[in-house]
């Protein structure tokens, strides 16, 4: 049976889960600042031990690819690459923002979903997904102001969420179609369906050369 180890470290949340096919079996996470270096490998070991699953029984390892924290992503991706290489199993990457959109339950067919990860000041990493989690706009880093939010008016209803949303809420309230969902964050427990779909379709990364998605160009240009 296909066991997938899921790793999410793109924000202050350090999260590990194991899924069977697309079904979540067990997860362990903590939101205590950037303590990923201390916690990640412990969480992996404890999660596998709890399920009595040996590392050799894993079918694949999936990891959040970004955007997000440089340090957090680096730690998670390095761990995932090491495991994939050592166990000779596929490496799967999942977009961080898509993981957040997956966390929104009861998605409506006529609505779109806009995760926002806090970058700095009024900047956020964001994307827009339909109810099937297909992207309607590319992943990008934007400065949220009166001009940049105009593109969101084209949708009949748009849900905003993530840790970058609260600082933008007052501006976004000017949109008649805006809805808000609180307490949505990237977590490995929301990676199961996305990782399993990539496993089925054999959409794998090269465990030797894969790098996180930092949106570096935007950050360099703004510095």
Report the C-alpha gap between 209 and 182 in whole angstroms.
36
Neighbours of 61 (CB within 10 A): 26
Report the C-alpha gap between 161 and 185 in whole angstroms.
8
CATH number of 105-181: 3.30.420.40
Q: Tokens standing for 149?
A: 């939010």
Q: What is the maximal distance between C-alpha atoms in the chain?
A: 53
β-sheet with 3-8: strand ranges across: 23-31, 13-20, 3-8, 58-66, 91-95
Every domain of the chain with CATH number 3.30.420.40 lies at: 3-97+186-222, 105-181
What CATH architecture applies to the domain 3-97+186-222? 2-Layer Sandwich (3.30)
> Which H or E run includes 25?
strand 23-31
Q: Tokens standing for 201?
A: 């379709």
pLDDT at 221 over 90: no
By mean pLDDT, which of 85-89, 105-109, 158-162 is the weakest? 105-109
Region 125-152 average pLDDT = 94
- Bridge partners of 17, per DSSP, are 6, 27
User: Do 117 and 97 contact (CB within 8 A), yes or no?
Assistant: yes
Q: What is the pLDDT of residue 222?
A: 42
- Bridge partners of 137, per DSSP, are 128
Tell me the CA distances in angstroms from 26 to 8, 135, 156, one per residue in order.
Answer: 14, 28, 37
pLDDT digits 0-9 by tens, 31-69:
988 899 999 999 999 999 999 999 999 999 999 999 999
pLDDT at 217 over 80: no
Q: What is the pLDDT of residue 4?
A: 98
């Amino acid at each position: 049976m296909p066991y997938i180890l899921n790793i999410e470290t793109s924000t202050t949340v350090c999260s590990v889960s194991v899924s069977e096919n697309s079904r979540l079996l067990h997860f362990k996470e903590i939101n205590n600042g950037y303590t990923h270096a201390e916690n990640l490998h412990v969480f992996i070991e404890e999660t596998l031990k709890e399920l009595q699953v040996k590392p050799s029984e894993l079918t694949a390892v999936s990891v959040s690819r970004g955007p997000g924290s440089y340090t957090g992503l680096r730690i998670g991706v390095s761990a995932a690459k090491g495991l994939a290489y050592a166990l000779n199993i596929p490496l799967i990457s999942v977009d961080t923002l898509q993981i957040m959109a997956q966390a929104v339950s009861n998605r409506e067919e006529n609505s779109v979903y806009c995760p926002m990860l806090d970058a700095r000041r009024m900047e956020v990493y964001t994307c827009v997904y339909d109810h099937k989690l297909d992207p309607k706009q590319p992943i990008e880093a934007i400065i949220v102001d009166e001009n940049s939010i105009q593109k969101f008016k084209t949708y009949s209803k748009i849900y905003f969420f993530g840790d970058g949303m609260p600082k933008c809420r007052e501006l976004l309230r000017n949109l008649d179609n805006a809805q808000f969902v609180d307490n949505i964050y990237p977590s490995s427990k929301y990676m199961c369906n996305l990782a399993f779909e990539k496993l089925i379709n054999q959409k794998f990364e090269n465990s030797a050369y894969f790098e996180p998605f930092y949106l570096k160009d935007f950050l360099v240009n703004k510095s």
